[in-house]
Amino acid sequence: MTAITLYGTLTFIVSLDDQLRLQVELETIRDTLNNLVGAPAHPPYQSALAAALAQFSASAGKLTTAITPSQAARIAAMGGEEFFEPSIADKVQGAVSANAMTPSVARDFVHDLATRRRTFLDTVRSTIQGLETLKVSIAALPAGSADVSFLVPRGLFDNDLGKFAKELTFINRLIQDVAEGITGHAEAAELESLSSSTPTIALGASLTVIVTLATIVNKFLEAWERIRKIRTIRDELTELGMKGAAVDELTERVTTIVEEIVEESTELVLVGYNGHDNARKNELRTGVSQGVSRLFGQIERGLMVEFRAQPKEDATESETKQLNTVAEIGQGMKFPPVPSEPLLLGCSEILEGEIHRKVTKKTSTTKKESRKEKPDQKEQA
């Protein structure tokens, strides 16, 4: 984790806690329990405790959508996982319920939790001050703009610089193809920041391109739950000794779902294509299709994509809608755990920009077979 990434994570923690008032509400529960210890049968204290628990549960529930997977991972890495997980309210409620007749036990539990959490937050704030003293900061996202970050696990390129360069080339080509498909001309992605521990590439692009990328990634993630269920059934049948057509059909169904999403995503990019060169449009169709296929395969193998948006007071209705879409999608994304045996792409199939699908699939629209890009297509893409 770089100093800039650390600073961004720390400031996010403080901002989030100030917004949700989790520490304040936790300490309110502690103080209310302390009152109950002195007068356990006093109705106003009991009512105050019930209200404080309800408010804390409501605030903690917002953590589910307020923290992205990568932010959660960084918070956990610095020892703050238990303080910012949605289940913190359940733990407090459980301690109170289990010790209804002995409120001092519940008070001691909440007191310990609140004290440790306060110590963690104090450390976070003092670290922010130290970093700012050393002139370490992070540029805020400009109002009315959005960005996208690709978190590339080292397992995708085995710490090989050349392979990592190919990952960057793939990301750049994907954004260029999506931009050209939407606007009719290629758009260069602007590098905002680069972190090294888990390589994280933050990129700026036009709002329309960011919205489209967010929608495409979200389509895949929403379908992954269906894919997961099918894979679970397939694995259970395999463990029972089943093989042959039944298992193959389930595997094909998974790849068919992915293929359909690839087609939908490609059409989403090209639906408003205003270029006058039909040959170029066909090249873009191939490039976007292959790029999206590879993106989904990379996500299955651990790649995460994050989206941010910063509202703007004087934004148009269209801009506001797009910014809200990016923010909502970005906060709601849940990436799948990395399976032991990826279905979509193999380790050797993702480096040169060519897609080898393991099963020939029939979709509701067309039947596609993978093929290598022609040299002239690569140069134009």
Mean pLDDT value of segment 325-340: 83
Mean pLDDT value of segment 16-38: 94
Tell me if 204 is assigned to some domain. yes
Contacts of 52 (CB under 8 A, 6+ apart): 25, 28, 29, 32
Range name among 3-7, 97-101, 141-145 with the lowest pLDDT average? 3-7
Q: Which two tokens stand for residue 10?
A: 């720390």
Mean pLDDT value of segment 160-171: 92
Select the more confidently predicted residue: 50 or 5. Answer: 50
The helix/strand count (H/E) of the chain reads as: 13, 6
**In this structure, are residues 228 and 210 in contact, taking their beta carbons and an 8 Å threshold?**
no
Tell me if 125 is assigned to some domain. yes
- Radius of gyration, alpha carbons of the chain: 25
Range name among 49-58, 142-151, 286-295, 333-342 with the lowest pLDDT average? 333-342
How much is the pLDDT for 160? 92
Q: How confident is the model at residue 345 (pLDDT cuts 50, 70, 90)?
A: low
Tell me if 138 is assigned to some domain. no
Q: How confident is the model at residue 178 (pLDDT cuts 50, 70, 90)?
A: very high
Q: Identify residue 38 by its one-letter amino acid code.
A: G
Instruction: Evaluate if residue 112 carries a pLDDT over 50.
Output: yes
Residues 220, 300 within the same domain: yes
Instruction: Evaluate if residue 371 carries a pLDDT over 50.
Output: no
Q: How confident is the model at residue 342 (pLDDT cuts 50, 70, 90)?
A: low
Q: Which of 92, 111, 133 is at the close of a domain?
A: 133
Tell me if 139 is assigned to some domain. no
Q: Identify residue 288 by its one-letter amino acid code.
A: V
Q: Report residue 314: phi and psi, to 5°.
A: -100, 20
Residues 113, 204 within the same domain: no
**In this structure, are residues 308 and 141 in contact, taking their beta carbons and an 8 Å threshold?**
yes
Tokens 């910063």 appear where?
310
Residues 18, 83 within the same domain: yes
CA 57 – CA 86 distance, rounded (Å): 8
Instruction: Evaluate if residue 143 carries a pLDDT over 80.
Output: yes
How much is the pLDDT for 358? 40
Mean pLDDT value of segment 237-263: 83
Residues 218, 325 within the same domain: yes
Instruction: Evaluate if residue 256 carries a pLDDT over 80.
Output: yes
Q: Which of 83, 109, 133 is at the close of a domain?
A: 133
Contacts of 215 (CB under 8 A, 6+ apart): 268, 325, 329
Within 126-271, strands assigned E span: 146-151, 190-195, 200-204
How much is the pLDDT for 161? 92
* DSSP element (H, E) containing 306: strand 304-309
Mean pLDDT value of segment 151-170: 91
Instruction: Evaluate if residue 268 carries a pLDDT over 90.
Output: yes
Tell me if 172 is assigned to some domain. yes
Residues 225, 352 within the same domain: yes
Instruction: Evaluate if residue 372 carries a pLDDT over 70.
Output: no
Residues 128, 158 within the same domain: no
Residues 109, 176 within the same domain: no
CA distances from 296 to 5, 213, 305 (A): 26, 12, 11
**In this structure, are residues 355 and 369 in contact, taking their beta carbons and an 8 Å threshold?**
no
How much is the pLDDT for 348? 37
Contacts of 279 (CB under 8 A, 6+ apart): none
- Domains contained in the chain, number: 2
Instruction: Evaluate if residue 43 carries a pLDDT over 50.
Output: yes
Tell me if 140 is assigned to some domain. no
Contacts of 42 (CB under 8 A, 6+ apart): 35, 36
Mean pLDDT computed over every residue of the chain: 84
**Domain of 72, in residue numbers:** 3-133
How much is the pLDDT for 185? 84
Residues 321, 196 within the same domain: yes
How much is the pLDDT for 366? 41
Residues 195, 85 within the same domain: no
How much is the pLDDT for 378? 41
Residues 250, 357 within the same domain: yes
Mean pLDDT value of segment 184-195: 84
Instruction: Evaluate if residue 33 carries a pLDDT over 90.
Output: yes
Contacts of 106 (CB under 8 A, 6+ apart): 33, 95, 96, 98, 99
CA 136 – CA 130 distance, rounded (Å): 9
Instruction: Evaluate if residue 192 carries a pLDDT over 60.
Output: yes
Residues 204, 69 within the same domain: no
**In this structure, are residues 265 and 292 in contact, taking their beta carbons and an 8 Å threshold?**
yes
State the DSSP string of 195-237: ETTTTEEEEE--HHHHHHHHHHHHHHHHHHHHHHHHHHHHHHH
Q: Which of 89, 110, 133 is at the close of a domain?
A: 133
Residues 230, 83 within the same domain: no
Instruction: Evaluate if residue 130 carries a pLDDT over 70.
Output: yes
Tell me if 11 is assigned to some domain. yes
Q: To the nearest whole percent, how much of the chain has pLDDT over 70?
A: 88
How much is the pLDDT for 346? 42
How much is the pLDDT for 360? 36
Q: How confident is the model at residue 225 (pLDDT cuts 50, 70, 90)?
A: confident
Within 101-156, strands assigned E span: 146-151
How much is the pLDDT for 1? 62
